[in-house]
Amino acid sequence: MGLLTALIFLFYQDKLKDYLTIGVVINMVIATATVIAVIIHLSSVVISRRDRVWDANKHVLMDFREALSEVIEANDYYSKIELARIFNEEPPDEENKPKEEVYYVYSKKHKFIKDVYGSILDANLIKAMDVSYKENNKINGRVHQEDLNILEAYSKSSDLYGYLKRELDIYIAKKSGIKVRVGALTSLKSKLYKYL
């Protein structure tokens, strides 16, 4: 920057000699350097603040993400059992069976995140949590009333949990500073449009 200013000064010295002195050029270089230093400082303050927020919240968010992933895996496992029952096939291995309390653990973590961290969560994430919770309750009610078959219920429930997981991943990526691709989210949102 200083070199460029010096070159301009040398080339246009005759035309600018009344207005542009070496003192003015030095002041311009100092002012430019000061502006750049302020921009760098403010940028580091913003990044530092984001990092502190992420460090304070990452364990809770990652625990919730893990519980959500386990619920998605449990839905997948139980839908495979239902398919095997319908088509008289061999059910999946018992060793892949999810823990009994997987839905209960998820429910507790969902409530905790919503109650305690709700004020700092992204609006899209809160909406996804609400939609997932309400629609899964409706699905459970319809299954108990025998208005919806179990296989279809697992499929719809997995779509809802998948939507929530994508919104959670986007939120985690924003808060942690990681860049992610979100192209698949658009097609999933269009699939779930009736719930939103």
The token duo for 184 is 């698949």
Q: Which has the closest alpha carbon to 181: 194, 170, 192, 195?
A: 170
Tell me if 124 sits within 8 A of 167, measured CB to CB: yes
Q: What is the pLDDT of residues 95-130, one digit of tens each?
A: 889 999 999 999 999 999 999 998 888 899 999 999
Q: For position 57, what pLDDT does the model report? A: 87
Q: For position 190, what pLDDT does the model report? A: 53
Q: Got the DSSP string for 163-188?
A: HHHHHHHHHHHHHHT-----HHHHHH
Q: Is the per-residue pLDDT at 155 higher than 80?
A: yes
Residue pointed to by tokens 């939103």: 196
Q: How far is CA 194 from each of CA 129, 151, 160, 163, 184, rounded to the nearest angstrom?
A: 16, 19, 11, 13, 18
pTM of the model: 0.73
Q: What is the pLDDT of residues 64-103, one digit of tens each?
A: 999 999 999 999 999 999 999 989 999 888 888 999 999 9
* Confidence label for 56 from pLDDT (cuts 50, 70 and 90): confident
Residue pointed to by tokens 């319908």: 86
How many angstroms separate the CA atoms of 52 and 65, rounded? 20
Flag the least confident range among 52-56, 123-127, 176-180: 176-180
